[in-house]
Amino acid sequence: MDSNKIKKGLGRGLSSLIGETKIESQNNQLSISEMIPNKYQPRKIFDEISLNELTKSIEQRGILQPIIVRKSNHDKSKFEIIAGERRWLAAQRAGLHNVPVVITEADDLKSLEFAIVENVQRHDLNPLEEAQGYKRLIDEFSYDQEKVSKFIGKSRSHITNSLRLLILPKEVIKLIETQKLTAGHAKILVGLENAAFVANKIVEKKLSVRQAENFVKIFKNKKQKSNNKDANIKDLEISVSNKIGLNVEIKNKKNNKGKITFEYKDLDQLNKIIEIIKTNY
């Protein structure tokens, strides 16, 4: 193991990781075209506003923090970015031809570790990308949750809750990826049978995490009451709903008095209900 270590500018976690690898060149320049993205980069979405801000900063002051690279296993003429892909993208926008790099030796595991640590420490990952990074450590490199916890420097419960996000429906995951839902919202939805419906309501009504928690409680209470409904009434609701193509709710009291509710979402559906009533009565 080489005694050269980067002690400043990369963050404590990255510095520690780099210290475990052999450094070939600490103050080197590479052409932007010689570099390729890290195949283990957990970050899939780069915020456009943040990227533009970094581009302007680089235009004015250049790249202050070197990009960490390793020689590509697939193309010997290229170097794979281990940490600093966002800086590389911004440098291209800023019109730079060469950028400062640290060339180090790193296997696939170390490359993934670098990428996760950099992004997690900078809070650059959305909660889903963070969870996917942890899952890769577990699935591809035989980590367990305890080992991930110690390596990342976060609690075991944080890792567990993070991984649980991956069991959410695809529609909900999409909302997290596009940052329409926060990690706080997502945690509320884990384990709900109707997670996609609730998620869309949260987005539609622009609910805060606290408001979303209250909404879920109300929804659960309503559902619990609904589950106690007479089976014949439930069958009748489904039958009428299928017949007219709208949601129908029947509330029937013990004395067989009650009310029937038709849910419509636009004027066309309202007109449809009125037309059905006019035609038959």
Which sequence positions are flagged as catalytic?
Answer: 85
Rounded to whole angstroms, what are the CA distances from 99 to 5, 39, 91, 95, 226? 20, 20, 8, 11, 63
Count Cβ atoms below 10 Å from residue 129 Cβ, excluding itself. Answer: 20
The label of the residue with tokens 């309202």 reads: 270
The b/e string for 253-281 (b: 16+ C-beta within 10 A; e otherwise) is eeeeeeeeebeeeeeebeebeeeeeeeee
Nearest of 179, 171, 226, 221 to residue 200 by alpha carbon: 171
Would you say 135 and 144 are in contact if contact means Cβ atoms under 8 Å apart? no
What six digits make up the tokens of 95?
A: 């019109």
User: 115 has which bridge partners?
Assistant: none
